[in-house]
Chains A and B, each alone.
Chain A
């Protein structure tokens, strides 16, 4: 098991946001987390790479317990890539410098080797000609693809995607999702929080439905989207069924 979350509880100032979360992710698995806004999906991702502290429970990566005081978060986070809704590229750096910063400063790689990897990755996501552009010169979709490459530069074992298309114009959603789909085909382990149901169906090995801070249902995408086990999942999916009114 690459990642194991057991009995995770998280509260903000006494308000419970995650309750008894049990989730395990195998190497190469693609997990899609869906659920209504504010249900705790993003918080779960942020707990996994230590951006949030948890109240109780455990998170382990490769069998190594993460939520203990002496965890070296710097080295753990290098194994967990994360991409955010708002891209969060460094505005004062070119695309290439954005990609090289962490490999050179955190991993102490030399510029040449990092650069070779960066160029190959940029080429793969269709940004081969943008390495000298500043983030302000890119479209939203290009920024998000660059942000994905930035996370991949650390050669993570698992990638976390936190609603990465939510801030994009509709015509740019596809180019970003295609990049993620391709990563899935290459066997990257991923946890994807998204509202794009068609994409979830296409990419997921397993769908995790969270509502009210707890995992209500875990199912295969085929079953989840056609015949979910739980009433709450059915109700949630109905919201997205504009085309088949009842």
Chain B
């Protein structure tokens, strides 16, 4: 056990940091893209605040196309783009690119469904008081949907975390990379088990924190 720790602890610690960096940074960037798209999907919907059939259709199609590509294939397909953006195709920074491309449309749909849960009455009441569509988005739609948006974020983080592990196959860095290199290629099953255990604990923490934050932010019940 001592020997195992001496051999792998520094590497696992570094892998964990890499994984956290990839996951959190990708989630952040994916929200920068996905949140506005999700809002636009709701606003331009035919029952939305500013219906716009063409824009809604185009956004919907783009989101669906990106969501239908399996992540493993996307990972490889975007390699030229990754090289162009990051300058390299291996390591955790390179993994952020496909992660963001895969997660942003997923997040857009999550945001869309969170916002659609909001009671039409509250939106209508705001409209009837003379609020503009964007005032309604900022002051009613997003704040009213906050608990649901936070839960969605917890789902996103855990999904992106598992995607990041997949990136280990193409040298993506992080715990997934370690699990594949040692656990799979070198038959070090114990390394694999430990990485999986760490991933499980990290997912638990994200989920727990997300659920707590959502509940804390919910004034409606």
> A: which residues have CB within 8 A of B?
49, 51, 73-78, 80-82, 84, 86-93, 101-102, 105-106, 134-136, 147, 150-151, 154
CB–CB A84/B124 < 8 A: yes
| Dominant secondary structure of chain A at its interface with chain B | mixed
CB–CB A51/B129 < 8 A: no
* Complex contacts, B122 vs chain A, CB 8 Å: 88-91
B162 on the A face (CB < 8 A): no
| Chain B proximity of A83: nearest CB distance (Å) | 9
CB–CB B144/A91 < 8 A: yes
Whole-angstrom CA separation of A74 from B127 in the bound complex: 8
B72 on the A face (CB < 8 A): no
Scoring B122, B144, B221 by chain A CB atoms within 10 A of each residue's CB, the highest score goes to B122
Report 12 cross-chain contacts, Cβ distance below 8 Å, ordered by A residue.
A51-B124, A74-B132, A77-B130, A82-B125, A84-B121, A88-B119, A89-B122, A90-B126, A91-B219, A92-B143, A102-B131, A154-B129
CB–CB B124/A102 < 8 A: no
Whole-angstrom CA separation of A234 from B126 in the bound complex: 39
Whole-angstrom CA separation of A133 from B129 in the bound complex: 22
Whole-angstrom CA separation of A78 from B127 in the bound complex: 10
Instruction: Count residues on chain B whose CB falls below 8 Å from chain A CBs.
Output: 21
Whole-angstrom CA separation of A134 from B218 in the bound complex: 11
CB–CB B130/A73 < 8 A: yes
Whole-angstrom CA separation of A50 from B217 in the bound complex: 34
Q: Which residue of A lies closest to B118 (CB)?
A: A91
* Complex contacts, A74 vs chain B, CB 8 Å: 130-132
| Chain A proximity of B49: nearest CB distance (Å) | 12
Q: Which residue of B lies closest to A85 (CB)?
A: B121
A-B interface contact total, Cβ < 8 Å = 78
CB–CB A77/B128 < 8 A: yes
CB–CB A92/B144 < 8 A: yes
B109 on the A face (CB < 8 A): no
Q: Which residue of B lies closest to A156 (CB)?
A: B129
Q: Of B124, B131, B146, B221, which contacts A105 at CB under 8 A?
A: B131
Whole-angstrom CA separation of A154 from B135 in the bound complex: 16
CB–CB A102/B127 < 8 A: no
CB–CB A77/B127 < 8 A: yes
* Complex contacts, A49 vs chain B, CB 8 Å: 128
CB–CB B220/A105 < 8 A: no
| Chain A proximity of B199: nearest CB distance (Å) | 34
Whole-angstrom CA separation of A51 from B140 in the bound complex: 17
* Complex contacts, B124 vs chain A, CB 8 Å: 51, 84, 88
CB–CB A77/B121 < 8 A: no
CB–CB B128/A82 < 8 A: yes
CB–CB A102/B220 < 8 A: no
Q: Which residue of B lies closest to A72 (CB)?
A: B130
Chain B residues numbered 131-169 whose CB sits less than 8 Å from any CB in chain A: 131-132, 135, 139-140, 143-144, 146
Q: Of A76, A84, A105, which contacts B139 at CB under 8 A?
A: A105
CB–CB A91/B128 < 8 A: no
| Chain B proximity of A37: nearest CB distance (Å) | 19
Mask for B181-221, Cβ within 8 A of A = 1, else 0? Answer: 00000000000000000000000000000000000000111
Whole-angstrom CA separation of A136 from B144 in the bound complex: 13
Q: Of B119, B130, B146, B221, which contacts A106 at CB under 8 A?
A: B130
Whole-angstrom CA separation of A78 from B132 in the bound complex: 12
Whole-angstrom CA separation of A106 from B134 in the bound complex: 11
CB–CB A90/B130 < 8 A: no
Whole-angstrom CA separation of A78 from B143 in the bound complex: 23
* Complex contacts, A77 vs chain B, CB 8 Å: 127-130
CB–CB B131/A106 < 8 A: yes
CB–CB A75/B130 < 8 A: yes
CB–CB B129/A78 < 8 A: yes
CB–CB B128/A90 < 8 A: no
Q: A90-B140, A92-B146 are in contact. Are A136 and B221 (CB under 8 A)?
A: yes
